[in-house]
């Protein structure tokens, strides 16, 4: 349970960090090509990349997934090897770090709710008018309250403080927020920020994301007409307040900016692309985000083999050498062999027995092979070992004596790797057990192992 939670947190952190880095690179290019509104679509990368990591991995038997994975593995194999991190941390350290993460998340959520409460209190008396719109005594601009079913809130003196054109523009801004489901997106952003409270890149990106959201709404609400944009800019200056204003709140969307006013004014001075170009850009960027997330999801297909039950053809060649006291290799030296061909699901344990004879003990071998993808593992001592299979073994004597020998092996497809265990036979002689393990996922080896199993059952 601890290891699974730890791996989930690591995968979540990596996906968010990579998504933010991609947005940072792609958005300036999208801004120049398609405009402010379309460039905001780049942030779709964050939830799509999170979904690519959090939802169950696909099956490698799916033809489309297998084709995509094969292509991506060939393109990005060197990068995959360099960034793969395998969980080798001891359980106590994992528990302490998970407790620290949980405590930080709880504190972050509490601070967010406290900010929301402070914002609500700053509004003064709030009533509902005859049209169902909320009216706040000390609000300075329109806002959408809530995130699942956002409600429009207006200042009590909204009609007295603003002209009809100004009111139309401000309400148009809030309507864009509603159509884009920005309050729900903001709540999701706050949740990600709370879960990633330790990640400085995410904390920085959260503020940038809110800036880009306001710029995108301004671009749509102000329209493409230069004169109308000039009026909109004057309205921003008129309603601008200090950044420390309590009307900046986390759960919802408001007219008041959460960033310097100069950024919004500079954005309005840019040439506005046509509606067709903006929609085309948003579609292209959204599709790019989905393709990137799908690529990341398919790259997890083989990585999920360790827990997904991908069949592994396993050949175990087990021999015991018994040298009684005073014997030599040419006299009194006995060798016995046990060969097993079987199919084991990746991540499942195989149990084998070596029967006792001539003073040898009866041993039990537990062998658990797992597929590695990318084929790189970091050992507990920090060394990087390249291989396709990670095999954990444990020896146990059937007379009740448990050995502390638990080898962990890394090997490639169809390459043998060995284990050697030696002990005294209790009468002055020597016992040496050798186990050679050869795993493979090739179709030929799997068919060979299946035929061997059938032949064994028919005997």
pLDDT at 250: 60
Report the alpha-carbon distance of residue 185 to residue 70 in Å, rounded: 34
pLDDT of residue 241: 52
The pLDDT of residue 194: 95
**Sheet hosting strand 350-354, strand order edge to edge:** 350-354, 363-371, 389-397, 408-411
* pLDDT score recorded for residue 104: 95
- At 80 the pLDDT is 30
**Two tokens, residue 247:** 């009307």
Which residue numbers in the chain have pLDDT < 70? 1-3, 56-91, 240-261, 271-272, 296-309, 327-336, 356-361, 373-385, 398-404, 425-426, 459
So what's the pLDDT on residue 74?
A: 44
Contact 302, 60 (CB under 8 A): yes
pLDDT score recorded for residue 85? 31
């Amino acid at each position: 349970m601890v290891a699974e939670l730890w791996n989930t947190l690591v995968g979540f952190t990596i996906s968010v960090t990579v998504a933010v880095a991609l947005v940072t690179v792609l958005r300036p290019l999208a801004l120049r090509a398609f405009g402010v509104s379309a460039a905001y679509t780049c942030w779709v990368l964050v939830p799509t990349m999170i979904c690519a990591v959090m939802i169950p991995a696909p099956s490698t038997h799916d033809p489309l997934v297998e084709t995509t994975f094969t292509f991506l593995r060939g393109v990005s194999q060197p990068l995959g090897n360099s960034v793969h991190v395998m969980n080798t941390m001891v359980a106590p350290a994992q528990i302490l770090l998970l407790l620290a993460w949980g405590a930080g998340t709880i504190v972050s959520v509490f601070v967010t709710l406290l900010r929301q409460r402070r914002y609500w209190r700053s509004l003064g008396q709030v009533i509902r008018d005859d049209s169902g719109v909320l009216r706040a005594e000390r609000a300075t601009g329109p806002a959408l309250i809530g995130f699942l079913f956002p409600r429009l809130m207006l200042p009590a003196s909204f009609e007295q403080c603003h002209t009809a054109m100004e009111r139309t523009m401000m309400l148009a801004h809030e309507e864009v927020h509603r159509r884009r489901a920005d309050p729900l997106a903001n709540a999701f952003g706050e949740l990600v920020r709370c879960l990633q409270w330790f990640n400085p890149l995410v904390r920085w990106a959260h503020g940038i994301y809110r800036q880009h959201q306001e710029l995108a709404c301004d671009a749509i609400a102000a329209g493409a007409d230069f004169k109308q944009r000039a009026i909109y800019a004057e309205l921003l200056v008129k309603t601008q307040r200090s950044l420390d204003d309590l009307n900046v709140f986390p759960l919802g969307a408001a007219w008041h900016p959460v960033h310097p006013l100069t950024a919004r004014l500079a954005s309005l001075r840019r040439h506005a692309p046509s509606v067709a170009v903006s929609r085309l850009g948003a579609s292209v960027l959204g599709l790019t985000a989905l393709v990137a997330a799908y690529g990341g999801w398919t790259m997890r297909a083989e990585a999920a083999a360790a827990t997904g039950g991908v069949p592994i053809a396993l050949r175990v060649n087990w021999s015991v050498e018994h040298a009684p006291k005073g014997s030599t290799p040419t006299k009194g030296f006995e060798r016995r062999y046990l060969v097993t061909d079987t199919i084991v699901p990746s991540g499942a344990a195989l149990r084998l027995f070596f029967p006792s004879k001539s003073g040898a003990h009866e041993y039990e071998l537990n062998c658990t092979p797992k597929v590695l993808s990318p084929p790189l593992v970091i050992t507990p001592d920090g060394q990087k070992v390249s291989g396709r299979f990670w095999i954990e073994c444990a020896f146990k004597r059937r007379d009740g004596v448990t050995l502390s020998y638990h080898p962990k092996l890394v090997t490639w497809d169809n390459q043998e790797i060995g284990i050697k265990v030696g002990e005294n036979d209790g009468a002055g002689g020597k016992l040496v057990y050798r186990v050679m393990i050869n795993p493979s996922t090739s179709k030929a080896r799997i068919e060979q192992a299946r035929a061997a199993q059938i032949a064994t059952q028919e005997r």
